[in-house]
Amino acid sequence: MKITQESLPKSQLGLRVEIPTEEVAKRHEQVFKKILKNVRLPGFRQGKVPPHILRQYVGDSSIRASVVEELLETTMPQALQHIEVPTIGEPQLCDEMETLVQNYQPQQPFVFQIAIDVWPEVTLGDYQNLPIRAAKYEFDPAEVEDILQEHQMRRATLVPVERPAQAGDVAIIDLDAYRQTEQGRGEPASEFESRDMQVDIDLEAGEFYPEVIEALVGMQVGETKEVLLVTSNEFWEGDMVGQTFILELTLKELKEPELPELDDLFAQAVSDCETMEELRTFLTERQQKQATDQTQNGVEQALTDALLEITTTEVPHTLVERNLTELFNDVLNGFVRRGIEAKELNTWLTEARVQEIGQELLPVAVRQVKRVLALKAIAERENFTPDPEEITAGLALAQRTEATANLTRTELEQVVKESLRLKMAMAWLEERAQITWVSPAEFAEEIAPTEAVAEPSSEAMVVTPVASEAVAEPSSEAMVVIPVASEAVATPGESEA
């Protein structure tokens, strides 16, 4: 068997395998005898069918296909053993099976070519002291009060009132609508019509037409008003954009929310806390951690941006496909967590929609793979080695996840070590980074024009996702399939607060 290797684009290694005529003839004879032994034909004893009749019955193309399959199954593993660099995923035939069968000749050498992904070369720029800009999130005690007020509103009792409507009230209205014409009211617009609609008189919420909310303020129960509504492309599309409608609203009932007291009973109702003091402490700690996590995630994203700008590498298709699969499954799991039934989800998830979601997630998957490759290269260059205690803790955590079920102890330990090394690389970059801190509002303005992820510059990869669980822009803990540190903080009962 003659094997020739060559480097291919997109971090692939190509193998040309030539099986000599003698081996081909030997395999052909073995396959033919195997078929002859097992076939049953009326009028012949098993294994005694004449060869020419067997060929007529089975078909020459079927015999050729069986021989080609046998040759590939026996020689491909041997060919892969000649590769001296680490590979990724499974090898792929460069020619269609049908083409190989058509070209096969029993008395000639059999040649096939395969391609397999390999770990790419990564060229790093100066990654020390990376200059980045990041948002500094600070805990605001008012957040705790806002959360408590939100839960108060959820448990508020609506009490009827006899006075003009004001902000904060809840209105029950009837709504009719008409297209505006030069003469005034035109034909009815049924898409706006509603009866006994409950509307919160809250302009800041932005959940209903502002024109209607503004008109409700000062109205008395039983009163009717007309307002003009001009549809914009923010909420409408097609022929509905830029149309003017006359909305007629009638205030039928007016209620104000009566809020429950912020006492220990309230704390017990919305959480597992026994007292309000305990609940406030919990919410304070949770919001403080959220601010810290937001800041940390922002720093890591900024470091990723800066690192990828100075990193040159090819992106193996296999790694992108795996990552895309994880991202896609995370999208599906998000639907499930929101209570969408599997039957409804399967109906919605058409082949076209799968492709659409896959194309939207593809740039994210490419970015994540490049991120891991760059951090892996830094970890190797800086010779990062996790402490045995960290490895032990990581193994204990990883063994509790379903993703590790099919891994051996050795494989799992290797995954945990690699994950820890990537974390060490990110922490190392952060320690040396030149960070310019800005406010979250200022940072949001800076990234607004460029927040869309750019498409990869390489040829468009057509990848169909089939499964997954990663997140769009993970922190260092989530860069590989197996987590090594838990970010989840158990809330007191996780009931509502």
pLDDT (tens digit per residue) in 413-433: 999 999 999 999 999 999 999
Label residue 61 by pLDDT band (50, 70, 90): confident
Residues 97 and 14 in one domain: yes
pLDDT at 479: 34
Mean pLDDT computed over 375-380: 96
Q: Greater confidence, 458 or 466?
A: 466
Residues 386 and 454 in one domain: yes
Residues 407 and 386 in one domain: yes
Domain span including residue 28: 2-119
Lowest mean pLDDT among 127-136, 247-256, 278-287, 486-495: 486-495
Residues 30 and 178 in one domain: no
Residues 420 and 378 in one domain: yes
85-90 CB contacts, 8 Å cutoff, 24+ apart: 85/13, 85/118, 85/119, 86/118, 86/119, 87/13, 87/116, 87/117, 87/118, 88/116, 88/117, 88/118, 88/119, 88/316, 88/318, 88/319, 89/116, 89/117, 89/316, 89/318, 90/116
Residues 250 and 279 in one domain: no
Mean pLDDT computed over 113-142: 95
Q: Greater confidence, 125 or 457?
A: 125
pLDDT at 335: 87
The per-residue pLDDT of the chain, averaged, comes to: 85
Domain C-terminal end among 231, 258, 285: 258
% pLDDT > 70, the chain:
84
- Structurally, the chain folds into a number of domains equal to 3
Lowest mean pLDDT among 76-80, 268-272, 406-410, 421-425: 406-410
Evaluate if pTM is beyond 0.75.
Answer: no
**Structure-token pair, residue 186:** 């035109």
Lowest mean pLDDT among 194-198, 394-398, 445-449: 445-449
Do the domain assignments include residue 495?
no
Lowest mean pLDDT among 259-263, 264-268, 326-330: 326-330
Residues 400 and 451 in one domain: yes
pLDDT at 93: 93
Residues 336 and 442 in one domain: yes
Confirm if 41 and 57 have CB atoms less than 8 A apart. Answer: yes
Residues 348 and 443 in one domain: yes
Label residue 446 by pLDDT band (50, 70, 90): confident
**Structure-token pair, residue 465:** 């996702």
Confirm if 100 and 283 have CB atoms less than 8 A apart. Answer: no
Domain C-terminal end among 215, 234, 258: 258
Mean pLDDT computed over 179-187: 87
Label residue 403 by pLDDT band (50, 70, 90): low
pLDDT at 50: 67
Mean pLDDT computed over 460-467: 42
Mean pLDDT computed over 39-68: 72
Mean pLDDT computed over 388-414: 85
Residues 278 and 254 in one domain: no
DSSP string for 235-256: T--GGGTT-EEEEEEEEEEEEE
Do the domain assignments include residue 172?
yes
Residues 241 and 309 in one domain: no
Domain C-terminal end among 258, 279, 308: 258
CATH of the domain at 246: 3.10.50.30
What does the alpha-carbon distance between residue 207 and residue 149 come to, in Å, rounded to a whole number?
A: 18
Do the domain assignments include residue 254?
yes
pLDDT at 477: 35
pLDDT at 302: 96
pLDDT at 470: 32
pLDDT at 275: 97
Do the domain assignments include residue 490?
no
